[in-house]
Amino acid sequence: MSLPVPGNVVGSVRALLDVVLKNCTQLMRSQVVSWMNAVGLVLTALPDTYWSSLNTKVEEVIRSIQPSVQPFQLFNFSGSQSVFAEQHCSYVLALTHAIWHHAGIGQLSQLPQFLRETLKPVDCE
């Protein structure tokens, strides 16, 4: 992560997100939230260019949602985890929440632009 290239080229941030998103079956169920918080702390300590991987992951999830699906069931992390019916969407939402929770004001101030320029056009498609 300390290479002098942009964050999206390094690819290690994508792997950092995948620690929780793809390896959730290998982590202890009681420690998944702790892992998400750890990833959030690491990612918020990195420069802002590394956030593009998180934004890309959120955009992929939003694009993959079918219009006929109930969003409250789809994004219910604690409900789906308690009955062993994890959804990828709920894990991305929980991970994004953990990362935004640890973000500083400079990082959070970029969210309205991301919502306006990236996610709002997805809704119109």
Per-residue pLDDT tens for 18-67?
A: 767 776 666 677 777 888 888 889 888 887 777 778 888 888 888 887 77
**Strand stretches in the chain, DSSP E:** none
Neighbour count for residue 47 (Cβ, 10 Å):
9
Domain ranges of the chain: 7-124
Rounded CA-CA distance 3/83 in Å is 42
Which ranges of the chain would DSSP assign to H, the alpha helix? 7-10, 12-21, 32-45, 52-64, 71-74, 77-82, 88-102, 105-108, 111-114, 120-124
Question: Does the structure show a pLDDT above 60 at 8?
Answer: no
Mean pLDDT rounded to a whole number for the chain: 77
Report the residue count for the chain. Answer: 125
